[in-house]
Structure 1
Amino acid sequence: MIRDKEIRAITEQIMKVTDHETFQPILTDSINKTVMELCNQLNHNFSMQKRQLAAYYDTQDSYRKMLSNISHDLKTPLTVVKGMLELVDLEHRDRETNQQYLHKIEEKVNDVIHMIHDFFDLNKLESNDTPMLLEPLDLSELSRKVILTHYDAIDQKQLTLDIDVPDHPVLVNANQQALERVLDNLITNAIQYGSDGKVIGLRIKHVAHRVEMMIWDRGKGIEALNQSHVFERLFTLEDSRSKDYSGSGLGLTITKRLVESMNGTISLESVPYHYTEFKITLNQS
């Protein structure tokens, strides 16, 4: 028989948990099997609620950080735009100087538009509103095509380009728009962060029934303690937040979501100033 005293003791402990969100385990000295099973089930439920609450707080912290960074990243280029507009003097300043100011304004406005597009794109990816349509694509041809769009930036920074891509088609099951975005993001990342190593590379190879694509550089890389965070939304290394770089801080987060939407994986290996590699693995078509 279950004694009233045992029930009252359990009830009092439940009230403490619900009133103060302490999530302390429910204890009993009863040897009654039913009472013991009840306590075990309550403790299991409280443990689940504790994990859910912790995840909720983590999400709230993430969104607060995201809003803070959005505010900072939007404020910076808009402040520059405001300052440049104040310097433009169509009546008294020479045309060439005004054109320089207007060009800088256009660059900063484009930065803001790019950031806003990134925020919307990530939101769309995480909402899973529409499934990713996959089809056979030639990764060799597509990678060469995207690399060519970055030729001016590579040439301007005087980088050596090391390409190891098969001459024959390498078919993967992917979405063309998503795969182009992944390639563009990773090559841009290598150029911006790895240029001090003076070489960037792209390699494609078959592994069993999968295809691996590696984009690498020999630049400053990423310290071990930061490597597990690079795919988190709005994570950027502090020394990369300079006036020479503009971005939403969502590039690698979007890249990871796109790769996963194509049933692929992405990983990072980095030894600063020696070798930094992002590896994409996709299903062979």
Structure 2
Amino acid sequence: MSEAAIIFLLILCIILLFSIILYQRFHFKKGIHARLKEVSDKLEDILISGSDEKVMVFTDDSALMELSGQINLLLEGYQKIKVDYRRSQAASKKMLSNISHDIKTPMTVILGYLEMIRLESPEENELLEKVEEKARKMMELISQFFTLAKLEAGDTSLELSSVSLNECCREAVLDFYELLTQKNFQVEVDIPEQSVCIMGNRDALGRILENLISNAIRYGGDGKYLGVFLHSDEKYVYIDISDKGKGIDKAFSTRIFDRLFTLEDSRNQEIQGNGLGLTIAKSLANQLGGDILLKSDPHILTTFTLKFRKLIY
């Protein structure tokens, strides 16, 4: 065999060996990629479904086996936290139910006694009326607190049906008519004649509008103005509740719906309200698949906008 033939065979062997090495590396990387994708998909399924499964990987690669072991340890910790949370949530619901009964019952009795004393002692009516007013505010706060607690715990089921927002807005304004008249508010209402409907819950929508209008009167009362506007586009329907009061500083705009957040630093310099009305309104709107947006120009116009997907027949 000639020297040229030997060189050619050596080159051919080197090329063949190099090709085998490249193929093995490619096959190895492809196998690793497939196993990693398998682990990723399984982990995603476990997290979405909330099941107590573990990640199983059939491979001889020690690094992959170690990785799956570490993932399973993390899953065990996550699943334990989830179980503890469920137990804590169940205990909290039971505690809230007991507290509700324990507080509401004596407060109801106290209000009853106050009314009896007021009727029997006309000369002390003024003082008793003030005490009775404070007691009723306490009852209102307790009621709002437990309403929010039920909403946050997912204990409130809202039955959905077709609801006319035109009627809801008219009723909400009429409910405050006497108060608005007493306070000499300028009221501007724009509700179209054509029916605008959403899939919602009439009671929940009434509660949302009541809280928003009450908030506008209480905190924006210095502007002596209330605006209620219903409008829509191709996809969404909007209800604007506006006032011309002191407004809400931009620094507080992201916190205004937080539980127990009061407007002590935004609309005035003293604590007002209990910080639950807007939180309840926001939570109810979210449960109905909507949202509440805020835009505020102090002393010009502050607007809370209810936004829902339009029901198209």
Structure number with larger C-alpha Rg: 2
Q: Which residue of 2 aligns with 1:121?
A: 147
Instruction: Note closer, same or farther for the CA distance 1:187–1:38 as it changes in structure 2 (3 Å cut).
Output: same
Partner Cα distance (1:258, 1:221) in 2: 23
Instruction: Note closer, same or farther for the CA distance 1:131–1:104 as it changes in structure 2 (3 Å cut).
Output: same
Partner Cα distance (2:118, 2:157) in 1: 51
1:248 shift after superposition: 2.7
Instruction: Note closer, same or farther for the CA distance 1:90–1:167 as it changes in structure 2 (3 Å cut).
Output: closer
Alignment of 1:95 onto 2:122? yes
1:89 shift after superposition: 11
Q: Is the 8 A contact 1:266 1:278 kept in 2?
A: yes
Give the unaligned 5+ runs of structure 2.
Answer: 1-60, 86-102
Partner Cα distance (2:284, 2:141) in 1: 17
2:211 to 178, 181, 185: 185
The number of aligned residues is 224
1:273 shift after superposition: 1.1
Q: Which residue of 2 aligns with 1:107?
A: 133
Alignment of 1:200 onto 2:197? no
TM-score, scaled relative to structure 1: 0.66
Q: Is the 8 A contact 2:118 2:128 kept in 1?
A: no
Instruction: Note closer, same or farther for the CA distance 1:186–1:130 as it changes in structure 2 (3 Å cut).
Output: closer
Partner Cα distance (1:150, 1:164) in 2: 16
Where does 1:161-176 land on structure 2 (aligned, <5 Å)? 161-176=187-202
Q: What per-residue deviation string (whole Å, max 9, x for no partner) do you get for residues 156-183 of structure 1?
A: 2211001111123221211011000000
Instruction: Note closer, same or farther for the CA distance 1:129–1:252 as it changes in structure 2 (3 Å cut).
Output: same
Partner Cα distance (1:257, 1:41) in 2: 40
Instruction: Note closer, same or farther for the CA distance 1:213–1:89 as it changes in structure 2 (3 Å cut).
Output: closer
Instruction: Note closer, same or farther for the CA distance 1:167–1:89 as it changes in structure 2 (3 Å cut).
Output: closer
What do you get for the CA RMSD once the two structures are aligned?
Answer: 3.7
Q: Which residue of 2 aligns with 1:255?
A: 281
Q: Is the 8 A contact 2:118 2:125 kept in 1?
A: no
Partner Cα distance (1:40, 1:222) in 2: 51
Give the unaligned 5+ runs of structure 1.
Answer: 1-32, 57-73
Partner Cα distance (1:212, 1:89) in 2: 46
Alignment of 1:136 onto 2:152? no
Aligned-partner residue type, residue 95 of structure 1 = P
Identity, % of aligned positions: 37
Q: Which residue of 2 aligns with 1:70?
A: none
TM-score, scaled relative to structure 2: 0.61
Instruction: Note closer, same or farther for the CA distance 1:36–1:273 as it changes in structure 2 (3 Å cut).
Output: farther
Where does 1:25-64 land on structure 2 (aligned, <5 Å)? none
Alignment of 1:236 onto 2:262? yes
Q: Which residue of 2 aligns with 1:13?
A: none
Q: Is the 8 A contact 1:118 1:248 kept in 2?
A: no
Instruction: Note closer, same or farther for the CA distance 1:101–1:135 as it changes in structure 2 (3 Å cut).
Output: same
Partner Cα distance (1:262, 1:137) in 2: 12
Partner Cα distance (2:63, 2:127) in 1: 77
Q: Which residue of 2 aligns with 1:23?
A: none
Aligned-partner residue type, residue 218 of structure 1 = K
Partner Cα distance (1:99, 1:89) in 2: 6
Q: Which residue of 1 aligns with 2:310?
A: 284
Instruction: Note closer, same or farther for the CA distance 1:256–1:89 as it changes in structure 2 (3 Å cut).
Output: closer
